[in-house]
Amino acid sequence: MHALSIPTWMVHVSSVIEWIAAIWLIWRYGEITGNRYWWGLAAAMLPALVSAMCACTWHYFDNPLDLAWLVTLQASMTVLGNCTLCGAAWWIWRQTKQTNTDSASDSD
């Protein structure tokens, strides 16, 4: 656990906590608005959370070589998370565009 300084640990841990809070808030927003695509965004955030937890775990154990597979898993989860977040953002954009088009048609 000596691999990182206390301030760096504070940033790592607070980032994970903030990410969990963001996932929960986005999920709740989807429940409140009834828009399921926000649930998709919350689910799309999970691989990035796994990536962050891999990094914290590896650092917690002082970056041992026998846990180097965590670095590979972290990188993989970062790529997957970026792709899922891109897909979720596209889905939200598409749904919003469709809703706006439907609203414009209704007002004519």
Q: Is residue 1 part of a domain?
A: no
**Model pLDDT, residue 84:** 98
Q: Is residue 99 part of a domain?
A: yes
More reliable by pLDDT, 85 or 2: 85
Mean pLDDT of 68-84: 97
Q: Which residues form the domain of 19? A: 6-107
Q: Is residue 81 part of a domain?
A: yes
Terminal C-alpha separation, the chain: 64
**Model pLDDT, residue 51:** 97
**Model pLDDT, residue 2:** 74
Q: Is there a contact between 71 and 58 (Cβ–Cβ < 8 Å)?
A: yes
More reliable by pLDDT, 97 or 66: 66
DSSP symbols for 53-81? HHHHHHHHTT--GGGTHHHHHHHHHHHHH
Q: Which two tokens stand for residue 44?
A: 């799309």
For the chain, the residue count is: 108
pLDDT in tens, 79-104: 999 999 999 999 999 998 887 777 77
pLDDT in tens, 9-51: 999 999 999 999 999 999 999 999 999 999 999 999 999 999 9
Residue 66 is classified by DSSP as G
How many helices (H) and strands (E) the chain has is answered by 4, 0
Domains: count for the chain: 1
Q: Is residue 83 part of a domain?
A: yes
Q: Is residue 27 part of a domain?
A: yes
**Model pLDDT, residue 43:** 98
**Model pLDDT, residue 107:** 62
